[in-house]
């Protein structure tokens, strides 16, 4: 089946440090989405990337889509305790159905 | 945007029984999706439900076990049939609105 791989599984950082999570697919993606899920909550949409090499920023968050549209990354600059949660990428191969990566659980120590 | 509600929010069921989960969207949408998320795990796509056609199931999921209805453009149900403890999970429905995907709050199912 279609698979989207995501690393690392866990990341523990000190508040103020940077954080990056990576996703990759063996097959070219049509587009990729990123989500944040807090404990006990449901996934909340952050952003969608469609174009090869696309880079989007949301305040301290930077999202990239690889040139080959097979990988993507989410980078958080100067983490805060409010960034705690699990970050998921979700890739699509046909712009419709999305397959989620395994997620990266971020813990930020104050 | 889309606001999604689900019923029930949680349930504890005995093995061998069935549970139907309802998903209501506050606007008309073409596609609705059902996911499963086991504790501490990622989301797994179960099926895609379009109004007026049979649901499309992902590998490892079959209609007999997870029948889906999509009677109109704002509503869908997922039934978990002949439940076993392995079906204990959170079941989420979702839909697209523009380029964003929205999720319902989920139904936490425990099978004893």
pLDDT at position A1 over 80: no
| Residue B84 CB coordination number (10 Å) | 11
Structure confidence at residue B97 (pLDDT): 86
Q: What angle do CA B71, B73, B74 make, to 5 degrees?
A: 95
Cβ–Cβ below 8 Å for A101 and B42: yes
Query: Is A96 in the B-facing interface, judged by CB distances under 8 Å?
Result: yes
Structure confidence at residue A86 (pLDDT): 97
Specify whether the backbone of B16 is left (phi greater than 0), alpha (psi in -120 to 50) or beta: left
Mean pLDDT value across chain B: 95
What is the number of domains present in chain A? Answer: 1
> Is A24 in a helix, a strand, or coil?
strand
> Is B80 in a helix, a strand, or coil?
strand
Q: Which residues of B touch A45 (CB under 8 A)?
A: 100-102
Cis preceding-peptide flag for B8 (omega within 30 of 0): yes
By Cβ distance, the residue of A98, A99, A103 closest to B101 is: A98
Nearest CA in chain A to B6: A42
Structure confidence at residue B39 (pLDDT): 87
Tokens at A83, concatenated:
């960034």
CA A6 to chain CA centroid, Å, is 8
Query: Is B92 in the A-facing interface, judged by CB distances under 8 Å?
Result: yes
Among candidate residues B56, B78, B50, the one with its CA nearest the CA of residue B65: B78
Identify any residues that bridge with B79 across adjacent strands, giving them in sequence order.
B20
Burial A9-31 (b: 16+ CB within 10 A, else e): eebeeeeeeebbbbbbbeeebeb
Total number of residues shown for chain B = 112
pLDDT bin (cut points 50, 70, 90) of residue B51 is confident
CB pairs under 8 A between A and B: 42
Query: Is A49 in the B-facing interface, judged by CB distances under 8 Å?
Result: no
Structure confidence at residue A74 (pLDDT): 98
Cis preceding-peptide flag for A8 (omega within 30 of 0): yes
Cβ–Cβ below 8 Å for A43 and B106: no
Query: Is A93 in the B-facing interface, judged by CB distances under 8 Å?
Result: no
Q: Which domain holds residue A71?
A: 5-109
Cβ A35 vs Cβ A88: under 8 Å:
yes
Phi, psi dihedrals of residue B87, rounded to the nearest 5°: -85, -5
Query: Is A33 in the B-facing interface, judged by CB distances under 8 Å?
Result: yes
pLDDT at position A27 over 90: yes
What are chain B's domains?
4-111 (2.60.40.10)
CATH code, domain carrying A12 = 2.60.40.10
């Amino acid at each position: 089946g279609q698979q989207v791989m995501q690393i690392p599984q866990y990341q523990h950082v000190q508040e103020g440090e940077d954080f990056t999570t990576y996703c990759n697919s063996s097959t070219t993606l049509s587009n990729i989405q990123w989500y944040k899920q807090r404990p006990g909550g449901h996934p909340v949409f952050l952003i969608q990337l469609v174009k090869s090499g696309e880079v989007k920023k949301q305040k301290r968050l930077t999202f990239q889509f690889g040139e080959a549209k097979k990988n993507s990354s989410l980078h958080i600059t100067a983490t805060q305790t409010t960034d705690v949660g699990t970050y998921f990428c979700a890739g699509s191969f046909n712009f419709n159905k999305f397959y989620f990566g395994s997620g990266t659980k971020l813990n930020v120590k104050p | 945007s889309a606001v999604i509600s689900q019923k029930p929010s949680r349930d504890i069921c005995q093995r061998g029984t069935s549970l139907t989960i309802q998903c209501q969207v506050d606007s008309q949408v073409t596609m609705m999706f059902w996911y499963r998320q086991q504790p501490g795990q990622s989301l797994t796509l179960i099926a895609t439900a379009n109004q007026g056609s049979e649901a499309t199931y992902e590998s490892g999921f079959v209609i007999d076990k997870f029948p889906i209805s999509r009677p109109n453009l704002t509503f869908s149900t997922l039934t978990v049939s002949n439940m076993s403890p392995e079906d204990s999970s959170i079941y989420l429905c979702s839909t697209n609105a523009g380029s964003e995907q929205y999720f319902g709050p989920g139904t936490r199912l425990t099978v004893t």
